[in-house]
Chains A and B, each alone.
Chain A
Amino acid sequence: MSEVVRPPPSVGIGKKRQPARRAGHRMNPDHLQLALPFIALVVMLVVIFAIRPAAFSYFGFGLLFNLAVPLILASMAQMLVICLGDIDLSVGNFVGFVTCVVAVFLRDKPFIAMLLLAAGIVAYAAVGVLIQLRSLPSIIVTLGMSFVWLGLALLILPSPGGTAPDWLTATMALQTPWIPLPLVIAVALAAAGHWLLKRSAYGVVLLGAGANPRAAARAGWSLLQARIMMYGTAGGLAVLSGLALSGLTTSGDPNIAPTYTLLGVGAVILGGGSFTGGLVSPVGTVVGAMTLSLAGSLLSFLNVPPVWQVGAQGVILFLVLAGRVFIGRSGR
């Protein structure tokens, strides 16, 4: 009688129970999850270099991944919120807001700029508090915040312009030895994220609180503190994303990054994350964000007509995610 492994009575009828699986015998599904976007990324790079071997160079890599940096940061912010089972619809517009603050204030009135950016981070943490204490749906609160950030950005800088301070532009154009800056940043972020969330003692508590809030509460942890930490850090990462973006574009624009919101969600899910909470991967998210940002370049290298490029991105997203079904884990 092998079928008598009983599902716990609390399991809803809609959910499929994960069969208990022995680790070790075959490839760990976690690693496969991670491998998926990584393979996609490598395949894309190989195709690009086959078409244009000149791109296989220090500068080529730099150009290909320059604009991935702010997306990676925004995706990491999204990842922290998704880790708690929430979603952040405001991060794209918040990044836009940050570019405006940077372009208008950072050069001449750095103190005001710092104050505004710090206030932004506090606001992010406050959103977490509101969501936790009133048990509000994060999707609506952050939708509201997305309008708030867009509004504030437009009030500071009604039309694209301003100037990022030279030091910021110079930082983003820094020529690091051997490995181009965007890759250095990507690796550093992946490593730091992995270490802080997956390896550090408190990161583990946060992951646990995302997956099983009841167990975390029973083990004596504060869920409010967890939300403040995650939302606050997400705000901080989004500020960095805005700084990087304005350093690249040298100016501010309220409407520069609304797509970061959903691309970030895509990167998290692509990188093996799931909306159920506690199942996110910093390394996967970084790779997912690079994959998504490279997809555009790949398609133009492939001479995919511009009108099909967006659709091809959608198809890529479907294909990679469909791979998960075959690995046997859903993104729910």
Chain B
Amino acid sequence: MALSTLRERPTLELRAAAKSFGPVRALRGTDFSIVAGDVVGLVGHNGAGKSTLMNIIAGVVGRDAGDFLIGGTAIGADYSPAKALRHGVRCVFQELSLCRNLDLAENTRMLHASLRGFGWRGRAGRLIHGMLEDIFPEHGIPLRAKVEDLSLAERQMVEIARAYTDTDLPARFVILDEPTSSLGHEATAQLLRFIRRAADRGVASILISHRLDEILEVCDRVVVMVDGEVVGRREAAGLRRRDLVGMMGHIETPLAEEATRRSLGIKRIATPGTPGQELPIEASAGEVVGFAGLDGHGQRERLRMLFFAAGGEGEAAYVAGDRGAEGVFPLWSICENMTIRSIAALRDGLLISRVRERVMARDWVDRMKVKTDGIDRLLTTLSGGNQQKVLFARALATDAPIIFLDDPMRGVDVGTKQEVYRMIREEAAAGRCFVWFASEIEEMANCDTVYIFHQQRATTRLQGTEVTSARIVQASFGEDALV
């Protein structure tokens, strides 16, 4: 501290940074700055733009607009991960970027171009082991192990320790994206203490976390993001958890109009649950059931389990939210993509009837208001929202009584969302059962019943008028359970 106060303290500063992915505006002119020795918390619900901001700072994603300065040097368009490293920017990514086929020393070497020549392995090993000891004393990680042989928590520790290692390029700004998501209690406490120690040495840390207590414990300042914009900057001192939840939960669109209870039909899904641990999950014909919770608390996995269990011919249809990997057939037209789930019913003798197939596709393009100039266009030529409408149509056009929605509104614009919500309500009124996982809580306003998942279990059930943004946020952080 004494040393750094003598000199100008280096600053990392982004001004009016903007970034869009297709129609989705991930960042809308965001300002962000951090000074050496600072610890800044970055909070916000899923999809608020935290990861995009981080990726821009790390050089992984280029910004569309805005100024970027590190230590007074203007950063141009040729910014890259290599350049970010040279400026001392380090990043612990959520999906972890260790190479699983390499050991600890080797993974450390990947980050440091200068670790080469005779004895590099020893130096890299000492570097990572020293840092591991410093951050997580008694970590117990086998020093020669390959990353693939480590547990998730151990991998996370290694990646964190690696980010703080210094060679001729010292770490100056370290971004930690959900660093504690798989760490235990003890390791988490160790990490938080270390972040403070590093700050005293002049290393700035940016901590992104859903665990608000950690943020409040360790950070000097907290930045709250909603929908690609910073909605609050506060000193952490004196700030309460409730204040942060309040800032995040203020979503401008009010939650649903009065949730009218529909008359429920036959039960479509019923899991037994575990008393005291997990609620039984039930879904009936005509009901829209939501799965909510923070990223990675098991709601998506549960949705898939239920789908494959209900799977069978015609029993259940699925709308994937990860369009690129799990929904779209990229070589196919709108028509083919839409009808694939219904081809057995569209046969005329042995072959699929061209006429009936096209009638179905046109019909649904109209009903879903898909913006296209023809059903023979490649599906991938449409905008994300329109692609998603086609995937919805694929499921809705079947006669499946249960439809699973796997966060299907990810990256879809507001107008489309409203149209699709309307469709879902209509279809439910007609007797379909929907099971809907969404990462954005306001979508849950469309559900009759919402199960909130915490640590891989459905711990809270909200029904009818209980379904409010505040209640869901509360429950996602494990505030009230087994209601």
Q: Which residues of A contact B (CB under 8 A)?
A: 1, 4-10, 12-13, 18, 20-24, 30, 199, 201-202, 204-205, 207-208, 210-212, 214-221, 278-279
Contacts and interface: CB of A to CB of B under 8 A. Distances in A.
Nearest to B325: A12
Given A211-B100, A216-B110, 7 more contacts: A1-B456, A4-B456, A13-B304, A13-B326, A20-B149, A210-B101, A220-B82
A1 B454 CA distance: 13
Contacts of B117: 201
Contacts of A199: 121
16 contacts: A20-B152, A201-B120, A205-B109, A205-B110, A207-B101, A207-B106, A208-B110, A211-B101, A212-B99, A215-B97, A216-B110, A218-B91, A219-B97, A219-B111, A220-B85, A279-B101
Size bin of chain B's contact surface? 35 or more
A20 B83 CA distance: 34
Question: Which 3 A-B residue pairs are closest in the complex by CB-CB distance?
Answer: A220-B82, A201-B116, A215-B97
A20 B151 contact: yes
Interface of B: 58, 60, 80-85, 91, 93, 95, 97-102, 106-107, 109-111, 113, 115-117, 120-121, 142, 144-146, 148-152, 154, 277, 295-296, 298, 300-301, 304, 325-326, 455-456
B144 A23 contact: yes
Q: Which of B60, B102, B113, B116 has the most CB of A within 10 A?
A: B102
A211 B99 contact: yes
B91 A9 contact: no
A207 B107 CA distance: 10
A241 to B, nearest CB: 26
Nearest to A1: B456
B110 A204 contact: yes
B99 A216 contact: yes
B145 A23 contact: yes
Contacts of B152: 5, 20
B106 A204 contact: yes
Contacts of B80: 220
B113 A220 contact: yes
B102 A204 contact: yes
Contacts of B100: 211-212
A278 B93 CA distance: 21
A255 to B, nearest CB: 37
Given A20-B151, A23-B142, A218-B58, A212 B113 contact: no
B405 to A, nearest CB: 16
Contacts of B97: 212, 214-215, 218-219
A211 B97 CA distance: 11
B80 to A, nearest CB: 7
Contacts of A220: 80-85, 113
Given A4-B298, A218-B81, A218-B91, A208 B102 contact: yes
A219 B85 contact: yes
B302 to A, nearest CB: 11
Q: Which of B101, B120, B154 has the most CB of A within 10 A?
A: B101
B242 to A, nearest CB: 28
B298 A6 contact: yes
Contacts of A210: 101
A215 B110 contact: yes
Contacts of B110: 204-205, 208, 215-216, 219, 221
A279 B98 CA distance: 14
A202 B102 contact: no
Nearest to A212: B99
B102 A211 contact: yes
